[in-house]
């Protein structure tokens, strides 16, 4: 189980785990629950340059289609093909198996993101 207090969060419901200079990005359980059953995920190609706030893909559920926003700037170095092949992973394992992209980032990339308490405050408020 992922320690959710070690992650950073965006107000658009993405989570970020930083290891060295690579940020792993996914959507939170709150977002996955709000979307409902995810049936399709579109992700960017490796090599895509992202600015913080850019749309990097979309998640389609039985209820709606939601854009996915980059919480950090950098270059996409890996995408999770497993969730493209089986989008239901986003609902069943949002913090472990359903990471979406890995981004090579610069120092300070997580500045401005929320800690777990800050994220919980906006989702419970």
Instruction: State the CB neighbour count (10 A cutoff) for residue 16.
Output: 22
DSSP lists the bridge partners of residue 57 as: 68
Res. 125: pLDDT tops 80: no
The reported pLDDT for the residue numbered 1 is 61
Distance of CA 68 to the CA centre of its chain: 7
Q: What is the pTM of this model?
A: 0.94
The reported pLDDT for the residue numbered 108 is 83
Across the range 2-30, mean pLDDT stands at 95
Percent of the chain's residues with pLDDT above 70:
98
Across the range 18-26, mean pLDDT stands at 96
pLDDT tens-digit map of 43-98: 999 999 999 999 999 999 998 999 999 999 999 999 999 999 999 999 999 999 99
Res. 109: pLDDT tops 90: no
Strand 38-42 vs strand 22-27: parallel, antiparallel, or unpaired? unpaired
């Amino acid at each position: 189980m992922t320690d959710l207090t070690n992650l950073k969060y965006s107000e658009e419901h993405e989570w970020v785990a930083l290891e060295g200079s690579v940020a792993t990005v996914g959507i939170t359980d709150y977002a996955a629950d709000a979307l409902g059953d995810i049936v399709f995920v579109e992700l960017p190609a490796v090599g895509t340059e992202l600015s913080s706030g850019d749309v990097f893909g979309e998640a389609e559920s039985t209820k709606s289609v939601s854009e996915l926003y980059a919480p950090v700037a950098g270059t996409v170095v890996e995408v999770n093909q497993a969730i493209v092949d089986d989008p239901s992973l986003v609902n069943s394992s949002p913090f472990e198996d359903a990471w979406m992209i890995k981004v090579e980032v610069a120092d300070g990339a997580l500045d401005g993101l929320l800690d777990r308490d800050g994220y919980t405050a906006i989702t419970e408020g």
